[in-house]
A and B are shown apart, each in its own frame.
Chain A
Amino acid sequence: MLSHLPILQVILPLMAAPSCLIIRKANLVWLFTLMVSFAALAVSILLLQQVHASGPISYQLGGWNAPWGIEYRIDLLNAWVLLIVTALSSAVLTAAHTSVSRELEAGRQTVFYTLYLLCFAGLLGIVATGDAFNVFVFLEISSLSTYALIALGRDRRALWASFQYLIMGTIGATFILIGIGFLYMMTGTLNMADLAAHIPALSESTTVLAAFAFIFVGICLKLALFPLHLWLPNAYSCAPSIVTAFLAATATKVALYLLLRFTFTVFGVDFSLSHLPLDTLLIGLGLVGVFAASTVAIYQANIKRMLAFSSVAQIGYMVVGIGIGTATALQATLLHLFNHALMKGGLFLALAGLVYQLGGSRIEHFLGLGRTMPWTMAAIVVGGISLIGMPLTVGFVSKWYLIAAAIEQQLWWVAVLVVLGSLLAVAYIWRLVEAAYFQRPVNDTVKEAPLGILLPAWLLIAANLYFGIDTRLPVEVTAAAAQFLFGGAAP
């Protein structure tokens, strides 16, 4: 069975989703979903071990060899992202039962978990596959379920946010489809490894250049990279809390993975970073994104929305790492991928607890929370500190690597701007601290968030601290993955 791990990773949640509709009872469905998610986590741990020990795994679906059939190819990069997605999904799902039964009416809960599993499976499928068109199919599975999940939000704005995301997301996916079509036209293949073998000979072709442009823009729409981020704040702030936590922790990470996979593996480092001025573009967009989004975040009254803008800013950091274009910088990106998932997962789960008790997450809800909800507030503050990038938290580790990489490349201004960007994070986190600890509570009877949400939130926050101190695992894996991308990409 061990040789079937790559497909089990995706097929478990994919098959579990329709089974949910047959089980029907919401509580059982939640338990089932949770079990599936943990099983997927176990599979991804095994996969990471296997890949770490013996190199990339290739799995031929349907028994057809690679360029003719569809191939799953797991290397360190996707094994790492698979681990992030499954781990965060498990943590978020643990909290889901409490939060969902408060935020959604009973009739919709079964459908909610089914859609959740579909979204989860779609994200895993994107990460695991080695076939360019298969990416599109699974992208659509995850996207369609995401639109529906966002629209489940209680506010009517959720509908409008979902519609906007649907339009932008579909344009993005169609762009990717156009790009894949161009690539197929020029090479006759859809397999990523096979494409990678053909593209260097075609690097002068305008069609391949256009393919790159379309795929790049399409992924950036999904990634919410700065000028294309317009859908994200609305979607995150209106969706049910659990959905926000899940999407913030996983969906953008998977989009970033896709960007890495296409720029590094399919098109190759030579084509993407040397042949095109992509490095300058990415650094520029990333830094502008950091500053613009962080500044807007400071003025948000809705804290969910504030954190959503902060996500856009954090994506900026990751993209800067790709733009610098060295193994260290890439490692910083991969580390931040993991760290940001931990931070935002923890923060949004803590917010879910807040919404559970207070019914909203506007800044005025935070007044005096330091006294009435000490644990929840402490989680938010620690998460915020990690977001800023203070030492002893994971946020520090990735920023440290990023700055080190920038200095290595003599890009002093980038390093300075990264530090300045973190200061903006101080500004928006400080507002929460001020409201919670230096203001009187409006309502003294507010109780602590329920344990069902608080425990998973603290689990993620504790992971923020743990991996901020004991950095061995992430650093080791990401270093190897970054090396692999630079070494193994250009044949």
Chain B
Amino acid sequence: MELLLDIALLALLLITAISIAGIKDLLAAAMLAGIYGLLSAGFFMTMGAVDVAFTEAAVGAGISPLLIVLTLALCGRQQRGDRQRAMLALFLVLPVGALLIVATHDMPAFGAADAPAQMHVAPHYIQQSMAEIGIPNIVTSVLASYRGYDTFGEVVVIFTAGLGVLSLLMRSQGIDEPTVEPAPNAQSRDIVLRVIAKVLIAPIMLYALYVQFHGEYGPGGGFQAGVIFAVGFILYGLVFGLDAVRRVASHGLVQFLSAVGVLIYGSVGLLSLASGKSFLDYSALASNPVSGQHIGIIAIELGVGITVAAVMIMIFYLFAAQLRLQPRGPSLTPDHQGTDAGTAHLASQQQGAG
């Protein structure tokens, strides 16, 4: 049964990928990319990778189609046919494919319990993490403690991306410059959207907090929580206008918080350095090593959550602010309605994944 599900999902993924490659309408491609993300999240679920499925649902089916749609709103949705590069592409892709096929020749069978990947390092995590770290979610143990430094790198990557987008899309004069256009038209006048958005935002935030602090026991953690938290803000921004959401969290504040999250994570590491242990050795944080691990993991997950939420909100601000620069004039209201559906789906997918 499980195998059947697996085969069906992968076949669907393949079909989706092929149709993305073939379709000329970019908006349809973006939506198919969202479906692709959702399907792969489903696949990860069947593979038992619940944390990954959660993240992929939030990113692959949520944030990334949202950003693509925002980009398309600025760049147009039609693609011109271009057959020139097809031969070159085939010429490059076929050897890669051949190499990959050759590589499968000596691979261990799928799902084998005695494959080398399952034998060497991983058993230690499964058998020892309860004694050494004391939390049931092994993925969180490995993520936050055994390989906590990778996760620090991951937070810095997100921070870098936020800064990169900032450096690309910020106005030349300054960062906090007020927008030129009058605001009256900026918010959706649709009563249904406004009411539902108001009703939903509080539970979304609550859910984000739940995911943030439940990561030790179930799927979830700082990254997923940060994304959901940001989604709450994005929904607010989409319905009530960019200015309204900026009044809640100004651009400068968001920028500041994105740095603070990284600093929190790093400071935990520096604390353990200061007490003579290795960088990010949480056992230095309390007299009992296991409770030290607990404290450390909660602290760094908080750092991750803050940075991720801040960067996602910042990226949304920057992309959305670009829409106002459109020479065609204010196109905010329809845009809100257009992308709101995407957000609603996104939020529901996240809920489903949780």
Residues A69 and B147 in contact, CB atoms below 8 Å apart: yes
B118 in contact with A188 (CB, 8 Å)? yes
Residues in B14-73 with C-beta less than 8 Å from chain A: none
Choose among A11, A68, A144 the residue that contacts B279 (Cβ–Cβ < 8 A). Answer: A11
The majority secondary structure among interface residues of chain A is helix
Are A207 and B105 CB-contacts (below 8 A) given A62-B148, A64-B146?
A: yes
Q: How far is the CB of B292 from chain A (nearest CB, A)?
A: 10
The answer to whether B115 touches A62 (Cβ under 8 A) is no
Q: B156, B172, B258, B260: which has the most chain A beta carbons within 10 Å?
A: B156
Residues of A within 8 A of B76 (CB): none
- Minimum CB–CB distance for A11 against chain B, Å: 6
Measured between beta carbons, the chain B residues less than 8 angstroms from A77 are: none
How many Å lie between the Cα of A115 and that of B170 in the bound state? Answer: 15
> Shortest distance in angstroms between A39's beta carbon and chain B's nearest beta carbon?
15
User: How far is it, in angstroms, between the C-alpha of A189 and the C-alpha of B122 when the chains are bound?
Assistant: 9
- Cβ of A281 to closest chain B Cβ, rounded Å: 15
A133:B150 contact, CB within 8 angstroms: yes
B319 on the A face (CB < 8 A): no
Tell me the bound Cα distance from A367 to B146 in angstroms.
60
CB closest chain-A residue, reference B153: A137
Report whether B147 and A70 are in contact in the complex, using a CB–CB cutoff of 8 Å: yes
Smallest Cβ distance from B106 to chain A, in angstroms? 4
Number of interface residues of A (CB under 8 A): 59
Taking a contact as CB atoms under 8 Å apart, the answer to whether A185 and B149 are in contact is no
CB-based contact A63/B106 at 8 Å? no
Asked whether B259 lies within 8 Å of A62 as measured between CB atoms, the reply is no
- Nearest residue in A to B280 (C-beta to C-beta)? A62
A145 CA / B152 CA spacing, docked (Å): 16
Question: Which of B160, B166, B279 has a CB less than 8 Å from the CB of A4?
Answer: B279
Contact status of A189 and B163, CB under 8 A, knowing A21-B255, A62-B149, A108-B170: no
Q: CB-nearest residue of chain B relative to A148?
A: B164
* CB-CB under 8 A for A15 and B263, given A107-B170, A134-B150, A185-B108: yes
Report the minimal beta-carbon distance from B135 to chain A, rounded to whole angstroms: 15
Return the chain A residue nearest B125 by Cβ.
Answer: A68
Nearest residue in B to A64 (C-beta to C-beta)?
B146
* A49 interface contact, C-beta 8 A: no
Distance in angstroms between the alpha carbons of A46 and B175 in the assembled complex: 40
Q: Which of A103-132 contact B (CB under 8 A)?
A: 105, 107-108, 111-112, 114-115, 118, 121, 125
- Interface of chain B, main secondary structure: helix
| Known A68-B125, A185-B117, A206-B105; contact A145-B160, beta-carbon cutoff 8 A | yes
Contact of B116 among A185, A206, A213, A214 (CB under 8 A): A185
Check: A7 CB closer than 8 A to any chain B CB: yes
A457 within 8 A of B: no
- Inter-subunit contact B171/A107 (CB<8 Å): yes
Give Cα A227–Cα B171 distance, bound, in whole angstroms: 38
Q: Which of chain A's residues 322-366 have a Cβ closer than 8 Å to chain B?
A: none
Distance from B64 Cβ to chain A, minimum over Cβ atoms (Å): 14
Which chain B residue shows the least CB distance to A7?
Answer: B279
Selected from A17, A147, A206, the residue in CB contact (under 8 A) with B102 is: A206
- Does A484 interact with chain B (Cβ within 8 Å)? no
Given the interface pairs A63-B281, A68-B125, the reply to whether A21 lies near B258 with Cβ below 8 Å is yes
A210 adjacent to chain B (CB < 8 Å): yes
In the bound complex, what is the Cα–Cα distance between A68 and B172 (angstroms)? 47
Contacts of A125 in B (CB 8 A): 153
Question: What are 6 of the A-B contact pairs (CB < 8 Å)?
Answer: A62-B145, A62-B279, A68-B121, A138-B153, A148-B168, A209-B102
Q: A21-B258, A70-B149, A207-B104 are in contact. List 9 more A-B contacts (CB 8 A).
A: A7-B273, A7-B278, A18-B159, A21-B255, A61-B280, A63-B281, A68-B146, A108-B167, A111-B167
Which 8 residue pairs of A and B lie closest in terms of their CB atoms, listed nearest first? A188-B120, A210-B103, A148-B164, A63-B281, A18-B259, A137-B153, A21-B259, A18-B262
Interface residues of A (CB under 8 A from B): 4, 7, 11, 14-15, 17-19, 21-22, 59-64, 67-70, 105, 107-108, 111-112, 114-115, 118, 121, 125, 133-134, 137-138, 140-141, 144-145, 147-148, 151-152, 182, 184-190, 205-211, 213-214
